[in-house]
Structure 1
Amino acid sequence: MGCIKRTVNEILQERYHCNLFVVSLSVADLVVAIYPYPLILSAIFHNDWTMGDIHCQISGFLMGLSVIGSIFNITAIAINRYCYICHSLWYDKLFNLKNTYCYLCLTWLLTLVAIVPNFFVGSLQYDRRIYSCTFTQTVNMSYTIAVVAIHFIIPLTIVTFCYLRIWILVIQVKHRVRQDCNQRLRSEDIRNFLTMFVVFVLFAVCWGPLNLIGLAVSINPSKIVPWIPEWLFVVSYFMAYFNSCLNAVIYGLLNQNFRNEYKRILMALRTPRLLFVDWSKGGTEGAKSKPSLAVTNNNNNQAEIDL
């Protein structure tokens, strides 16, 4: 690995590209909160599904879109971090703005491709145990194995490889094992990496039990299904549902910028007029404090960081 110097503009550009994937992951988490979760609450209240088959299919589709979209976005973030930290010389070519948008489109296209077969298999059905329309593991054993492999095992393998290589590099740099260049990792890079690593670990923990149950059921349903207690199935499902709520908590705990924004939003909810005051200040102060081009170029030349 070679050495490369990055200016402030390049660092901000890299941060923007990474944030696009984080926003995409947030969208995936929000999908279930907007439509499926309210219907689940209604089913719990009525102790049955009362919204009809069309809403059941839409709810199950959006649930799958959120789940698979989340893991595919987590995989894309891991690949992005791996390229940025372990292969910095290639990063600018691989993740320029145009390529980043293409990767995002590809991520959601693959998500749709993974979800659409549910309509042909007929696996989106209402499950009274969890009060929701979701993927039914016992409808088609071959398809269940494919779903577990594509949705969990393959992404888990890719993300594990990426983060393992990053950990190895971090340890090498920390203990000055690498002698080929004076490589340094910024503390901000490490914090961002740790945040996304925790997101990945919690996803694996929350979705692991349900996927293991699905894999066991698909291998030998006649023997495995009677041995799985209903409470274990319900707990595993609601663990998976709960994962969509965790990412915002993780960002708030591990990222100072998110904590500051959360505080500002909470203060605005208590006193809404403060929100408009902040907006007006941001507009006027931003115009007053905008640096000149000469100053910006001078800072860019002085603020180079060795990687």
Structure 2
Amino acid sequence: MEADNETSTTVAPRDCIEEEDDHHRDEFACPMPDVLADKIGDCVVLSIFIAIGVIGNLLLIISILTTKRMQKPQYYFILSIASADLLVSGYVLPCVLSARISNKNIFTDAQCIFNAFVSFACTGISNSNFCAIALNRYCFVIKRHLYDRIFTGRSTLLIILLIWVIWFIYSGVEGATDNFTYLADAFACFNYDEKYVFSATFMLAAFGVFLPLCISCFAYGAIFWKLYRIKANLGESADTTLSRDERRAIFTIMVAFLVFNACWVPYLVQVITEKMDIHLSNMFHKYSVWMSFFNSSMNAIVYGLLNAEFRASYLRVIKFTAFKSSRSSTSG
């Protein structure tokens, strides 16, 4: 059955698509089985991650904006990531939840393209910011004499602005070339991973994921080798020593970076296996797409659990909000 003209093009679940030949698949939609238990479970999971993502990222943003000690260039990158994550948690995931409740594509073409644009751009922005943080910390620990010249407040803001502009342009090109669509088995609007030619998939994986990953791994590897030499007192000068708070901050950022990539690995596996004509299950595809979105709810948790400064700031914001609410209710 052809998709209705009022809704966006739908890519059917993989085990539901009729193959005309070995290299072509019809893009006719067929509905996902509407099993009540599965729907309830999916909706509960999505609702939990939406709540965690919205509340957590708001706490993270408010903490950075209101804490004087966090008015430093490296925290600007975290603020940028939290802003992108808030868009995913507060807009993209609720759209996925709405489609899951309806068990069908409820979006017009324009809505679906916009949803995919936001999710695609924000995930790229997050990864690029993590790479920038790794380089920031590398300069801070390894090239301290260059750090203050490269990562001034103004230059850091320009780097962040450049990251957002590049990914907005790239996402706009993806939308203009019809690479965004509704994925029926994931109930989400995203880039159609099966539609990409191999060269496009390779470029996206190489420059969107693997290159930032390699740069970050090199930076953190060099940092931890430096820290090891400092701890072992292997000829490192006194000006290279780091405070305990600085080491904890580096460790926290590295864990957040690892969580980000762990959430994206299943989706990359899905994309690569599809190009090798190895078709995984609908369930794997659904949760691989969702995990890439769920990452937007994880960073605030990581910072809160591993960084005492963020944890204290979270509590301060919560107490202030509760105090204002109690005063408002009392005066009312």
| TM-score interval, smaller chain | 0.7 to 0.9
Q: Is the 8 A contact 2:186 2:287 kept in 1?
A: no
TM-superposed CA distance for 1:193, in Å, is: 0.2
The code of the aligned residue for 2:304 comes to: G
Q: Is the 8 A contact 1:148 1:215 kept in 2?
A: no
Identify the match of residue 182 of structure 2 among 126, 138, 160. 126
TM-superposed CA distance for 1:258, in Å, is: 2.0
Identify the match of residue 212 of structure 2 among 155, 176, 190. 155
Identify the match of residue 288 of structure 2 among 197, 212, 236. 236
Unaligned runs of at least 5 residues, structure 2: 1-67
Which is helix-richer, 1 or 2? 1
TM-superposed CA distance for 1:180, in Å, is: 4.9
CA offsets per residue over residues 139-192 of structure 1, 9 Å max, x none? 122222221112211110110011000010000001101245563111111011
Q: Does 1:27 align with 2:79?
A: no
Identify the match of residue 197 of structure 1 among 249, 254, 261. 254
Aligned residue for 1:143? 200
Query: Where has structure 1 moved over 6 Å in runs of 4 or more?
Result: none
Distance 1:59 1:173, change over 3 A: same
Distance 1:194 1:209, change over 3 A: same
Distance 1:154 1:182 in 2: 31
Q: Does 1:224 align with 2:278?
A: yes
CA offsets per residue over residues 181-209 of structure 1, 9 Å max, x none? 56311111101100100011101111012
TM-superposed CA distance for 1:54, in Å, is: 0.9
Aligned residue for 1:272? 324
Q: Is the 8 A contact 1:43 1:50 kept in 2?
A: yes
Distance 1:273 1:86 in 2: 47
Number of aligned residue pairs: give it: 260
Q: Calculate the TM-score normalised by the size of structure 1.
A: 0.79
Identify the match of residue 297 of structure 2 among 245, 255, 258. 245
The code of the aligned residue for 2:269 comes to: L
The code of the aligned residue for 1:250 comes to: V
Distance 2:86 2:93 in 1: 10
Secondary structure at 1:164 match in 2: helix
Farther-moved stretch of structure 1 (123-132 vs 265-274):
265-274
Distance 2:323 2:94 in 1: 28
Secondary structure at 2:181 match in 1: strand
The code of the aligned residue for 2:208 comes to: H
Root-mean-square deviation (CA, aligned residues, Å) is: 2.1
The code of the aligned residue for 2:113 comes to: Q
Distance 1:100 1:51, change over 3 A: same
Q: Is the 8 A contact 1:76 1:107 kept in 2?
A: no
TM-superposed CA distance for 1:271, in Å, is: 4.5
Distance 2:180 2:271 in 1: 15
Distance 1:252 1:109, change over 3 A: same
The code of the aligned residue for 1:17 comes to: P
TM-superposed CA distance for 1:275, in Å, is: 7.9
Distance 1:237 1:32 in 2: 13
Q: Does 1:184 align with 2:241?
A: yes
Secondary structure at 1:133 match in 2: strand
TM-superposed CA distance for 1:32, in Å, is: 1.0
Q: Is the 8 A contact 1:32 1:62 kept in 2?
A: yes
Unaligned runs of at least 5 residues, structure 1: 1-11, 277-307
TM-superposed CA distance for 1:260, in Å, is: 2.0
The code of the aligned residue for 1:74 comes to: F
The code of the aligned residue for 2:247 comes to: I
Secondary structure at 2:189 match in 1: strand
Q: Calculate the TM-score normalised by the size of structure 2.
A: 0.73
Distance 1:63 1:154 in 2: 20
The code of the aligned residue for 1:169 comes to: K
TM-superposed CA distance for 1:266, in Å, is: 3.6
Distance 1:154 1:271, change over 3 A: same
CA offsets per residue over residues 215-243 of structure 1, 9 Å max, x none? 2323x3xx223xx1222222222221211
TM-superposed CA distance for 1:214, in Å, is: 1.0
Q: Is the 8 A contact 2:77 2:129 kept in 1?
A: yes
The code of the aligned residue for 1:123 comes to: N
Aligned residue for 1:47? 103
Secondary structure at 2:185 match in 1: coil
Q: Is the 8 A contact 1:36 1:62 kept in 2?
A: yes
Farther-moved stretch of structure 1 (110-119 vs 92-101):
110-119
Q: Is the 8 A contact 1:36 1:63 kept in 2?
A: yes
Distance 1:41 1:179 in 2: 53
Farther-moved stretch of structure 1 (89-98 vs 198-207):
89-98
